[in-house]
Structure formats: structure tokens, C-alpha cells
């Protein structure tokens, strides 16, 4: 390691965090999102202290960036709680959007949900001291240097799981500050072999290939989905396509498809729940449509817009074909959710495929289909109307799912083998 470079980056990091603590409140005066980000962290330490004073037992801390990472954490939390039922589980979020959704109702196996404070050294050490964890888990990424240093100072085992690395990340580009953060992990469980090889290339020896815990999570959902009586009656005996987490860029291709395939029922779940885009799309669709919150009856409707949060992962149970949005914009959403129901999935052509390795894997497995324009979308949708082609795609989805189950069991078993946590 180049120590001069390391200390330069360390200093720059501390300056950046310090500036953020000054600048963000000013930005919050103009930005509702930033204001919400800061407001949620008010009284954080008091709430945490109150919880721990009433619940002083052994605790496992799981940190996630947002909702997607929390979904990846859930199977591991469930397995950990089964093996260590006397442990408390605390989940911290960085993102307000993830925190807001998770705190709407009690979360199974989770005893407390909090924000993580900004990574200022004094706040990080106070947070870790207040949490007083026996073990800490980080999910996928979102590794905060001072929080990790604080854990190390207390000799708390630190585990990173569902890690998916790319060779262009700072961890692998040069030996120094960012790589030191990664090497402070006691155990790292990767989603794929490529990520494990990157760890080995930097002489990290405590890496394990466990797979993607999202497979476990979507399998849980598929085995016990929420049921919606009205929708179930509406779709019975019909061909159904579910369009999940779609954006305007997706709908530009999908609206002509909806207008062409009139024999289908379409369930459309936008990523953005503002009514204006849905109203605009409804006008461009030739068939009758309604929003879920405004429906009086679904009789005669061909298109149903889902204008709330929390339904989508279970709606794929009704699908013959799924389309998952986001690839043309900020990033592809979870294509494994329909795969869990053995539903072939179509998605946009990704600009940065390395960030979403499951997309290429689904294509290789024969259950995922990438499209770049209406012509390729129409072509793939048409292929899936062929009974033999569809049956093979459906079978491929099932096989891929079954082959990737068990990541949570591998992670927790290996963690407890290395760190039994008896008496902690």
C-alpha cells in the first residue's frame, strides 16, 4: 500500500464528509429530498439509546443502502434469527426511501430500524457504541469508513454479503484508501465467481462464493404471495402481461405493444407514482384503463395501473410474460421477481451491463430477453406466443431459480462456523 496516497485520500475523505455536514443543511432549505434526508436523522441517537436501554441483549446489525439491499438482507436475517433466536436484529438505512417503506409496518425478525448517520468520525463511533453489536453485516456495498473503523476498534466481526464487484471500481484500481476499507471486512460473500476472482487478485483470502440472496427472497415471495381477490377474478383464464417499475422511456415502447396485443390484460406498475404520467399513458392506450386506487370495477378494463407501493412483487403471480423497466434510465429493476414465479422476463438493453450481471445470466439461461426498440420488443413478445418456445423459457426460469437457491444458508452457516457468537 502506498501510505502517502492512503493518508491523502483519508484526509480528503474526512474533509468531504465535514463539508457535507455543513452544506447539506443549506441545500435542504431548497431541496425537499435533502431536507427529508436530514430530518429523518434528527434524534437518531436518542431513539437508539432508548431502544438499547430497554433491549440490552446481544445484537446483530445489518446495514443496507436502500430497499433493494434490504430485500437481499431479508433471507439472511431470517436464517440468522432462526440460528440465533435470542439475538436482537437492528437494520440501518442510508436512503430515506428505503427507510420510509420499511417503517410503515412491523418487519419480521427485525427489532429496530434506524438511519445510519453521516460518516463523520465522532458520529460513527457514537453510533457503533450505542448499537453495541456483536456482529455487523453490510449488504452488497455502502461501506462507510469510520463506521467500519469503529467496529474494528471494538473487535466486532464485519461481514459483507451479496457483493458484486467490477474491475473498474476503486477497490481494484489502486492499492490505498478504498481497498483498505474492503480489506477490513472479516468475511466477504460474493454473488458470482468474477467478484471472487477480483478479491483474490488483491490478495484478499476470506472471500466465498455464496450467490445472490435475492433468489432466496423472491422464492419466499413466490411461495407465499399476497393475493388480490379483485385482480385474481379479473385475470382468471386470460393472458396477462405485468409491466413492473416502468419509466417513460419504457412506456414509449410498451404502449404500441399494448395497442397491438388486445387479447392481453396489462398490469402496469410505474416506478414513479405521480398521476400525470399515468394519465398521459392512458390517453395513448386505445383500450379502457383504470388506476387501482380509483377502480370501482375491473369489468371491461384491459389495463390496470398500480398506483401504490408494495404490490408489485406479488403481482407477477398473474403474469404470463413480464417486462421490467429501468434499463433505459437510472438502472434495471429486479428481474428476479418474475423469475421467481417462472415467468419469462423482457427488459431494455443495458448501457452498463456489468452493474446488472443477472441480466446477462438470464439471457444465457434462456428466460430473459433484452430489447432496444419497439421492433425487438415486438419480436421477442411474438416469440413468447409460441407454445413450445414459451414452455422452454418458463422451464429455464424454474431451473435457473432452483440452481441458485440457498445463498442465505451458506452465508449464515459460514459466519457462525467462524464466529459462533456464544456468549456475545
Domain of 81, CATH number, reads: 3.40.50.11720
Average pLDDT over every residue of 338-355: 92
Residues 198 and 303 in one domain: no
Residue 309 has pLDDT above 90, yes or no: no
Residue 292: what pLDDT? 94
Are both 43 and 184 inside the same structural domain?
Answer: yes
Residue 221 within a domain: no
Residue 210: pLDDT over 90: yes
The reported pLDDT for the residue numbered 170 is 87
The predicted pLDDT at position 5 comes to 60
Same domain? For 99 and 241 the reply is no
pLDDT tens, position by position, 113-137: 999 999 999 999 999 999 999 999 9
pLDDT tens for each residue of 394-421: 999 999 999 999 999 999 999 999 999 9
The dihedral region occupied by 366, where left means phi > 0, alpha psi between -120 and 50, and beta the remainder, is: left
As a whole number of angstroms, the distance between CA 326 and CA 123 comes to 35
> Is residue 424 domain-resident?
no
**pLDDT above 60 (res 351):** yes
Q: Are residues 396 and 413 in the same domain?
A: no
**Percent of the chain having pLDDT more than 70?**
98
Same domain, 258 and 361: yes
Q: How high is the pLDDT of residue 61?
A: 98
Cα 27 → chain centroid: 27
Domain match, 259 and 374 both: yes
Q: How confident is the model at residue 38 (pLDDT cuts 50, 70, 90)?
A: confident
Q: What is the mean pLDDT of residues 141-158?
A: 96
d(Cα 68, Cα 358) in Å, to the nearest integer? 14
In a domain, 13, yes or no: yes
pLDDT > 90? residue 353:
no
Q: 49-53, 87-91, 228-232, 295-299: which range is least confident on average?
A: 295-299
Q: Would 306 be classed as within a structural domain?
A: yes
User: Is residue 218 included in any domain, yes or no?
Assistant: no
Residue 220 lies in a domain: no
Per-residue pLDDT tens over the stretch 155-181: 999 999 999 998 988 898 877 788 999
Pick the closest to residue 304 from 313, 295, 316 (CA basis): 295
Residue 47 has pLDDT above 70, yes or no: yes
Average pLDDT of span 315-333: 95
Residue 423 in domain: no
Q: Is the pLDDT of residue 34 over 80?
A: yes
- Whether residues 234 and 183 fall in one domain: no
Q: Is the pLDDT of residue 1 over 60?
A: no
The answer to whether residue 29 sits within a structural domain is yes
Pick the more confident residue, 28 or 108. 108
368 or 309: which leads in pLDDT: 368
Residue 329 has pLDDT above 60, yes or no: yes
| pLDDT of amino acid 352 | 75
CA neighbours closer than 13 Å in the CB half-sphere of residue 299: 2
Segment 202-229 shows an average pLDDT of 95
Q: 39 pLDDT exceeds 60? A: yes
Mean pLDDT of 228-247: 96
Output the average pLDDT for the chain. Answer: 93
Number of domains in the chain: 2
Confidence class of residue 145 from pLDDT cuts 50, 70 and 90?
Answer: very high
In this predicted structure, what is the pLDDT of residue 193? 93
Say if residue 156 is in the same domain as residue 265: no
Residue 35: the pLDDT is 87
CATH number at residue 369: 3.40.50.2000
Shared domain for 274 and 191, answered yes or no, is no
Shared-domain flag, residues 131 and 278? no
Same domain, 275 and 189: no
Q: Write the CA distances from 30 to 17, 20, 25, 26, 150, integer angstroms.
A: 20, 15, 9, 8, 33
pLDDT digits (tens, 9 = 90+) for 68-102: 899 999 999 999 999 999 999 999 999 998 999 99
With a cut of 80, say whether residue 300 has pLDDT above it: yes
Q: Which domain holds residue 394?
A: 227-403
Cα–Cα distance for residue pair 202/170, rounded to 1 Å: 12
Q: What pLDDT shows up at residue 265?
A: 98
Predicted model pTM: 0.89
Both 151 and 275 in one domain: the answer is no
Position 234 scores a pLDDT of 96
Amino acid at each position: 500500500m502506498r501510505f502517502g496516497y492512503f493518508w491523502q485520500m483519508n484526509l480528503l475523505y474526512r474533509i468531504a464528509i465535514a463539508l457535507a455536514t455543513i452544506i447539506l443543511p443549506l441545500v435542504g432549505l431548497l431541496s425537499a429530498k435533502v431536507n427529508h434526508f436530514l430530518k429523518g436523522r434528527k434524534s437518531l441517537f436518542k431513539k437508539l439509546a432508548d431502544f438499547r436501554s430497554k433491549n440490552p441483549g446481544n445484537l446483530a446489525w445489518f446495514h443496507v443502502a436502500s430497499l433493494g439491499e434490504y430485500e437481499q438482507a431479508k433471507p439472511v436475517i431470517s436464517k440468522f434469527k432462526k440460528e440465533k433466536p435470542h439475538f436482537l436484529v437492528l437494520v440501518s438505512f442510508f436512503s430515506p426511501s428505503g427507510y420510509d417503506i420499511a417503517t410503515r409496518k412491523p418487519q419480521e425478525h427485525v427489532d429496530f430500524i434506524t438511519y445510519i448517520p453521516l460518516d463523520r468520525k465522532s458520529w460513527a463511533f457514537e453510533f457503533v457504541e450505542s448499537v453495541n453489536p456483536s456482529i455487523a453485516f453490510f449488504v452488497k456495498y455502502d461501506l462507510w469508513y469510520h463506521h467500519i473503523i469503529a467496529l474494528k476498534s471494538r473487535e466486532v466481526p464485519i461481514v459483507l454479503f451479496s457483493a458484486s464487484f467490477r474491475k473498474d471500481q476503486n477497490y481494484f484500481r489502486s492499492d490505498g484508501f478504498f481497498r483498505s476499507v474492503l480489506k477490513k471486512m472479516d468475511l466477504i460473500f460474493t454473488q458470482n465467481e468474477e467478484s471472487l476472482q477480483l478479491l483474490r487478485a488483491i490478495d484478499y483470502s476470506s472471500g466465498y462464493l455464496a450467490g445472490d440472496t435475492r433468489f432466496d427472497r423472491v422464492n419466499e415471495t413466490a411461495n407465499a404471495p399476497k393475493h388480490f381477490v379483485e385482480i385474481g377474478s379479473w385475470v382468471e383464464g386470460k393472458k396477462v402481461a405485468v409491466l413492473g417499475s416502468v419509466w417513460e422511456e419504457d412506456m414509449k415502447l410498451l404502449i404500441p405493444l399494448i395497442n397491438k396485443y388486445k387479447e392481453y390484460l396489462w398490469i402496469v406498475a410505474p416506478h414513479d407514482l405521480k398521476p400525470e404520467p399515468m394519465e398521459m399513458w392512458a390517453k395513448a392506450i386505445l383500450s379502457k384503463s383504470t388506476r387501482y386506487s380509483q377502480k370501482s370495477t375491473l369489468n371491461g378494463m384491459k389495463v390496470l395501473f398500480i398506483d401504490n407501493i408494495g404490490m408489485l412483487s406479488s403481482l407477477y403471480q398473474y403474469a404470463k410474460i413480464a417486462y421490467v423497466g429501468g434499463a433505459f434510465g437510472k438502472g434495471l429493476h429486479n428481474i428476479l421477481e418474475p423469475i421467481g414465479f417462472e415467468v419469462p422476463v423482457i427488459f431494455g438493453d443495458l448501457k452498463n451491463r456489468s452493474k446488472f450481471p443477472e441480466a446477462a445470466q438470464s439471457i444465457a439461461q434462456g428466460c430473459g430477453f433484452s430489447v432496444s426498440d419497439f421492433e425487438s420488443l415486438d419480436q421477442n413478445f411474438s416469440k413468447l406466443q409460441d407454445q413450445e418456445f414459451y414452455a422452454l423459457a418458463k422451464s429455464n426460469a424454474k431451473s435457473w431459480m432452483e440452481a441458485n437457491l440457498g445463498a442465505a444458508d451458506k452465508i449464515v452457516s459460514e459466519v457462525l462456523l467462524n464466529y459462533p457468537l456464544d456468549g456475545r
